[in-house]
Structure formats: C-alpha cells, structure tokens
Amino acid sequence: MSKNADPDFWARAQKHLVRYGGTFEQLIIERAEGSFVYDADDRPILDFTSGQMSAILGHGHPEIAEVVSEHIHNLDHLFSGMLTRPVVDLATELARLAPGGLERSMLLTTGGEANEAALRMAKLVTGGWEVVSFAQSWHGMTAAAAAATYSHGRRGYGPPTVGSFAIPVPNAYRPAFEKNGAPDWQAELDYAFALIDQQSTGNLAAFIAEPILSSGGIIELPQGYLAALKRKCEERGMLLILDEAQTGVGRTGLMFACERDGVAPDILTLSKTLGAGLPLSAIVTTAEIEERAFERKFLFYTTHVSDPLPAAVGLKVLEIVQRDALVARATEAGARLGDGLRSLQQRFDCIGDVRGRGLLLGMEMVADRHSKTPAPELGARISRRCMELGLSMNIVQLPGMGGVFRIAPPLTVSDEEIDMGVEILGRAIAESV
C-alpha cells in the first residue's frame, strides 16, 4: 500500500484542518529539492508551479538554507521599532533595482499584507478612498486587498470595502472590443474609465494591477496599456500600484515586468518571488509619497515588519538572481517552454491559447480552437492526470474562459526538466481528451 494512504494522517487532517480553498492533493509531501517535490513513497513530482508560484530558486537552495540557519541562530525577529543591517541593506538594493524614482521600502510578510499597506498609503496620501482594479484580479485576502480581488472569493462575506470598482481586463484571446478585426484595448480602457467617472464620488485614490494577471488566467496587459493606464490615473489624481508578486524578480525575463513598458508605478508591491518561497514582501515607493504619508502619520505597525531573517533571505535572493544571470535564463528557458507548449498546441485542438512571458506562461483549454468554447472539466482531468504522471500543474477556472494552466517553473529549471514537463503534459492531454 502507498505510504500516501496513511489512514491516521488523513483522519487527523480531516478532523483538525480548516479547508481554505479547493481540495488537498491526496499525497503526503515529505521533502523538496530543486525542481521536484517528493511524496511519501519518495516519488519525484516535477514542480511546474514553483510551490505557490514563489520558489524561483527551486526548493532547498543551499545558499538560502545557509542564510536561514545563520539568522535563526543569531538574528531572527525583533521589536518592530528596531532596525538591522539586513533590513537597510535590502531596502538599499531594492532602491537600486526598482524602476523610476522608487527608493523607499517597507518590508512585510505576504503579498496581501503588502497590497493592504500600499492601498492604505494611497488613501492617506491622496485623501481619496475609492480603489479600481481589474475584474479578474487577485491581490490578497486581507480587507482592502480582498475588496480589490474580483477573480474569486467575493460571495458570502458581506459588503466589500466601500468605493471598490472594477474594469474589464484586456484579453487578446477573447476581446470585448475590436477594431478592424483586432483587439481594441484603448477603446475598452476609455469606455471603462468613463463608467468609473460616472460612478465615482470624486474620491479616487488608486488603481491596483498586475502587469500579467495570474489568477485571472495569465492575461498579459498589451504593450502600451500600462502607460495609458498611468495617464488615466494621473488625470484623476490617483496613484498607480503595480502588484508584481508573481512577475517580479526576473520571472518574466526582466527584473520587473513593468520595465518592458517603461512605466514606473507610484507604489510597487513585491512578495512571493522576493522571498523565493519564504514569507517576505515589500512595498517600494517614492520619497515624495513616503514623506507625505509620514507627515499624515501613516500607520502600518505589524508584528513582522522589518524582520531581519526574511530580509536577509531577500537580499540573498536578489544576489543569486543577478550573479547567476537568472533574468536572462528566464527568457531563454521561457522560450524553450513556450516552444514546447506551442508544439502541443499543434497536436491538440483543445489547446486554445498559449500566452505569457518568460517563465510565467498560460495555456487555455477549450473544446476546440474554432469555437473557443470553455472546457473546464477537460482542464481538470488533464491536471489530475499530470499529477498521477509526476507533474504538478496549477489550473484556474473562471467564468467565460477555459481552464487555464498557470505554468511557472523555477528560474533554475534545466532544459531537461522543461522537456520532461512538456512530455508528461502531452501524455496527460492525450490520455484525457
């Protein structure tokens, strides 16, 4: 009998755990190393999700383990009013790397917490309280971040934060606005903000966006969209917050995805990839915005703000990404992975679209490419078969879309591992259609 079927383990899991979304894989994961996780039978499972889209250096990176070991012995957690060298060093490095004039950071834990802090700061600085985001967004589960999240989890929890608005995301595969047979994102954006202006009470504070919507189905904002969005914000006195939880720190082939468009946000939020799987997040903003927030007594005093251990990890992550040329590697490996996925698309009519940048790619499953009819059940079957064959894949299901696989291996993934993943995925599709 498989050790994954341990009846005592599953009885205690069922009795004592809160189920927080979906169902648990019927596996007991015992360890992880590099691009693989290993179950109770010591079966290797290729991790094409980098944990929770975070472990960009793979699992168990020896240098990260060394930093954690050193700081857990010597400098792990302090009173939030104290400062340490890792905190100041990481803030300094973020200021060096961040686009535009972003030079002041606050270090926190999760992406939701960072977005919460960013939205709180934007409201204080602008004096407004209305927040706009995309209708397929995911920004976190804390109050303001959840109010700006529209892809999942809005039903049954009472009213969201007052002043929450959404606009459609420009989906090139399923465009809502077209001109001469091509997607017309500018007309869509103009129409969306005309509606926002009609609904607003004149208290717009911020727009929060991902450059590539991940939980929204790997929807990439088209070139030029971010610049146009920032102009819309500036015209209304709003701040632009870019949530680069999943696109930051090299994953898309640039240190930050917004650099492709030459757009610097007013506030940048980082998480997931910054800690390479450990709980670390940051907001990075301009000196002008930070000064104004401080003058107005900005308060975000949390238990783990400016903790030295995760700050030291983040500093090491940035060092490794730059030293080992992993930003360029994301472009190279992403091209290989994209070519593999497109080769599968030529074989299987159920693959409607392959999209994304670098090592953040999406593959949308449909009944057939001609109709683009969503096929969520097929996507679910393929996902289950992938796991049975030793490949961990993540699929998101959204109304009006097919199941979309979010494919995000570590930046350290080898060519052989990419080819292995594509081969397993092809087999899973063939056995599921």
Confidence of residue 180 (pLDDT cuts 50, 70, 90): very high
pTM for the full predicted model: 0.97
Q: Active-site residues: which are they?
A: 138, 210, 243, 246, 272, 406
Delineate the domains of the chain, giving CATH numbers in brackets.
3-61+325-430 (3.90.1150.10), 75-323 (3.40.640.10)
The Cβ of residue 224 has, within 10 Å, a number of other Cβ atoms equal to: 12
Residue carrying the six token digits 């049954």: 156
Task: Look at 34-48, 194-208, 258-272, 363-377 and tell me which has the smallest mean pLDDT.
Answer: 363-377
pLDDT in tens, 323-361: 999 999 999 999 999 999 999 999 999 999 999 999 999
At residue 83, the 3 state secondary structure works out as coil
Q: Torsions phi, psi of 234, nearest 5? A: -60, -40
At residue 50, does pLDDT exceed 90?
yes
Q: How confident is the model at residue 188 (pLDDT cuts 50, 70, 90)?
A: very high
In a 10 Å sphere around its CB, with 0-12 CB exposed, 13-18 middle and 19+ buried, how is residue 415 labelled?
exposed
Q: How far apart are CA 315 and CA 87, in angstroms?
A: 9
pLDDT at residue 398 above 90?
no
- Asked if 320 and 61 count as a contact pair (C-beta separation under 8 A), the reply is yes
Residue 400 — very low, low, confident or very high, per pLDDT cuts 50/70/90?
Answer: confident
Q: What is the mean pLDDT of residues 241-247?
A: 98
Q: Is the pLDDT of residue 402 over 90?
A: no
Where would I find the H helices in 17-166?
50-53, 62-74, 85-97, 111-126, 143-147
